[in-house]
Amino acid sequence: MSFEGFPDEGLVFYEGLEADNTKTYWTRNKAAYDAHVKAPIVSLTDELAPEFGPAKVFRPYRDVRFSNDKTPYKTHQGAVVHPEGGCGAWYVQISADGLRVSGGCWRLESDQVARYRRAVADDVQGPRLEQEVARLAGSGWEIEGERLTRVPAGHVADAPRVELLKHKSLYASRTWEPTEWLHTRQVLDAVRDAWRDLRPLNVWLDDNVGATAREPRRR
């Protein structure tokens, strides 16, 4: 099944879920979720897979075990491509707020953070990342990621690229508000172009940070 856009019914489904995040609403409208949210995002990621790799489509249920917010369902549908053995990943999400794409590393383990900071401090690799982040920011990407409020241990306040050194994760995101083109195949080109634009960031992260050697966290 080819991707033909995200139907308006999918966005309407999420508007309703935001207003009534209950099992009753979910059960009554699950057919709409399956047809107008899940099926399109699976089709989208299937078409992107030959270039970027297979995607993991996230479950719609929230993990509420350690959260004060006990609403049971996510109000967005996301999918991620995380190549094995690397660090950089690609992400796409649809919700009532529109389309969101991201790329980079959302969570780094301690060994990855150490390698990341060594690379940022390096006189060759550090400027390469700085230039790439500046390029993305200048073309409309939002630079995000968990950050320290202070300079990390082992570095001085006037160190080159000190703001990048504070990062414990690093990724870039862009959002499109709901418009008519979201209901068309044009979304495929938009996501593909956006992920291609993020490839240099992911390559830098793969080359300089790589996969963690730590045991995977239990979820």
Could you state, in chain order, the average pLDDT of each consecutive group of 10 residues for the chain (219 residues)? 95 98 97 98 98 97 89 97 90 98 96 97 98 98 97 94 97 97 98 98 96 67
The answer to whether the pTM exceeds 0.85 is: yes
Q: What is the pLDDT of residue 86?
A: 84
Query: According to the model, what pLDDT value does residue 216 have?
Result: 54
For residue 35, what are the domain limits?
8-107+171-208
150 domain residue, yes or no: no
Indicate whether 201 belongs to any domain: yes
- Give Cα separations from 177 to 97, 159, 181, 185, 192 (angstroms): 6, 38, 10, 16, 18
Is 153 contained in some domain? no
Going from the C-alpha of 144 to that of each of 170, 174, 184, the distances in angstroms are 6, 11, 29
CA angle 92, 102, 144 (to 5 degrees): 145
Query: Cα separations (Å) of 96 from 17, 20, 141?
Result: 9, 14, 20
Number of compact structural domains in the chain: 1
Question: According to the model, what pLDDT value does residue 219 have?
Answer: 43
Q: Which residues contact 196 (CB under 8 A, 6 or more apart)?
A: none
pLDDT given at position 217:
54
* Residue labelled with tokens 């699950």: 30
| Position 93 in a domain | yes
pLDDT of residue 215: 66
Instruction: Report the distance separating Cα 72 and Cα 30, nearest Å.
Output: 14
**Contact status, residue 76 vs residue 93, Cβ threshold 8 Å:** yes
Output the six-digit token pair for 164: 């990048």
Token pair recorded at residue 138 = 């200048």
